[in-house]
Amino acid sequence: MAKYDVAIIGGGMGGCIAAALLSKLGKKVILLEQGPELSGRAMDFPYKDGYTLELGGHLIVDDGSGISRICEYLGRPFEIGSDNDCLPFWKEDQWHYIEDLYNIDKSEIKKIIKEIVNTDFEEFDKYDNIPVRTWLKARTDNEGIITLYETLSGLEFQTSDWWDNSASEFLWMRKCHYMNKQTAAYSYWPKGGPVKIIESLIDLIKSNGGEVRTNARTLEIVVDNYKVRGVKIQAPKLTPNEYPEPEMIEADNVLSTVSIWSVMDIIPENILPNWYESKIKVLAQDIFRSSWIGFYAALDKPVYAKSPKEISGWLDGPLTHQGGYYYLQSEIEPASAPEGKHLAICGSFVRNPLDMKNKKWLAEKMDLFEREMDIMLPELKDSLWKSRHLVFDCSVFNKPGLVGTARPANKCPNVEGLYFGGDGFQGRGCGLDRTSRTSLTCVELILGERIEELKDTPHIIPSK
């Protein structure tokens, strides 16, 4: 008999949620993380001068039916901190409240909301291959509604081609938000940050008897005669030139939550059907990574367009002509800046992520973006310091043709006991919430049954 019921690869939010659910439900689990810390992309980082930089997962896009509901079920609810109170929008050389900018016909938008709310979640699958605009155009000519929705989808999915987001993803999320929060889009900061949620989950996994190992890089998923046997992990090196035998961890099931960009590194060659492997490789192309350049800015006083708690956006920056976002992290998480100081974050979406490999292009674009921010928010010129960053690993674009069944299914089609979660495989939603809902799907697949208490959490239903 294998040592573990389930080996879970990856200690980000997806892996932690899955391990917490499985251990609560009596499975013997081991969670394996290659790095020294758990949290994956949702990491915070103590920076200089008492500032803390949030490297990923700034805001959770969850209407209460996803990650927060799952954590409640686990008995580890987290406290919801601040949410953004408005969305100022830069257009024609000034800031506007987005709702003032467009003439939105109220009866027209109510009709659309009603249709979204009354459509079954599964029915949105039909719109996997069309952009939001195409779906909307069949229902309204009101440019205000179209622009509002396209701006939301651009911000949620960091798409530089803001007109090129999949209608299915967008409508699926709008249904959740309209149903449970009576608003088009709802996001919030979890008090203490995503890392605090992870810490609580790790504590739960351990108290349920689960094992958690860091510095445990999976080298290969071990498959024998199309059945999973476990994983081989890197054994510690005791001398710099030692080449130790990998350690074998036996498990009846393996759930990988590693990103779509690195999952092929741990799958033995010629194991997957070629059509399934191709789906992974298509999505893992650099051209489909949602990417941006940006900077953090330390400030003596808060700088904003309309409200300190805003998240502001634009589709056509005055110099880069790209979309982007700006907000004050210290307003939603005061601990991110020292007393009396403030921390801002902003980014400019990159149309072609391949450009980011070109150092000259990068340097020029970063200069241009800083000058662009000085035009839109001139007080940023007085920043105490700025720290530039580039993001190349946020997520895979939710563009038409790259979502729904274009994504590889969570259960490996030909290897018994092998499952794939994380935010790149099949699933719906955004970022941290998405990977959590996908973990729920994977856990139900492994259990072979639905978790009754979570049947109202929208996610891909395993029987499909």
Ligand X SMILES: Cc1cc2nc3c(=O)[nH]c(=O)nc-3n(C[C@H](O)[C@H](O)[C@H](O)COP(=O)(O)OP(=O)(O)OC[C@H]3O[C@@H](n4cnc5c(N)ncnc54)[C@H](O)[C@@H]3O)c2cc1C
* Interacting residue ranges for ligand X, rule: CB under 6 A: 9-15, 32-35, 40-42, 55-61, 217-218, 257-259, 262, 266, 391, 393-395, 422-423, 430-433, 435
Residue appearing with tokens 């940023």: 380
Longest dimension (CA), the chain: 71
Q: What minimum distance in Å lies between the beta carbon of 346 and ligand X? A: 12
**Residue with Cβ nearer ligand X (256 or 383):** 256
CB atoms within 10 A of CB 83: 15
Dist. CA 254–CA 400, nearest whole Å: 30
The distance of closest approach from Cβ of residue 267 to ligand X in the complex, given in angstroms and rounded to an integer, is 11
The DSSP code for 92 is T
- Comparison of 55 and 271: residue with beta carbon closer to ligand X: 55
Check residue 166 and report its DSSP letter.
Answer: B
Q: How far is the CB of 423 from ligand X (least distance, A)?
A: 4
What the block records as the tokens of 355 is 């450009």
Nearest approach, Cβ of residue 418 and ligand X (Å):
15
C-beta of 9: minimal distance to ligand X in Å?
A: 5
Q: How many helices (H) and strands (E) does the chain have?
A: 12, 16
- CA dihedral over 311, 43, 426, 77, signed as positive or negative: negative
d(CA 377, CA 306): 11
Report in angstroms how near the CB of residue 97 gets to ligand X at its nearest.
22
Would you say 6 or 266 has its CB closer to ligand X? Answer: 266
CA distances for 418 relative to 196, 252, 447, angstroms? 29, 9, 13
Which of 17/145 has CB closer to ligand X?
A: 17
Which of 28, 232 has the CB closer to ligand X?
Answer: 232
When the beta carbons of 101 and 390 are compared against ligand X, the nearer one is 390
Instruction: Kindly tell me which of 11 and 313 has the beta carbon lying closer to ligand X.
Output: 11
Q: Which two tokens stand for residue 141?
A: 């000519």
**Closer of 380 and 391 to ligand X (Cβ):** 391
Query: Toward ligand X, which CB reaches closer, 57 or 230?
Result: 57
Helices 431-447, 13-24: axis angle to 10 degrees equals: 30
- CB of 93 vs ligand X, minimal distance in Å: 28
Sign of CA dihedral 142, 59, 341, 347: negative
Task: Supply the DSSP string of 239-290, one letter for each residue.
Answer: STT--PPPEEEEEEEEEE-S-TTTGGGGSPTT-S-HHHHHHHHHHTSGGGEE
Q: Which is nearer to ligand X, 142 or 262 (CB)?
A: 262
Q: In whole angstroms, how close is the CB of 338 to ligand X at the nearest point? A: 22
Contacts of 371 (CB under 8 A, 6+ apart): 319
Pair 121, 172: CB distance under 8 Å: yes
Task: State which amino acid sits at residue 450.
Answer: R
Least Å distance, CB 54 to ligand X, is 8
C-alpha–C-alpha distance, residues 304 and 310, integer Å: 8
3-state class of 252 per DSSP? strand
Tally Cβ neighbours within 10 Å of residue 191. Answer: 15
Residue 102: CB minimum distance to ligand X, A: 25
Per DSSP bridges, beta strands 311-314 and 44-46 are: unpaired
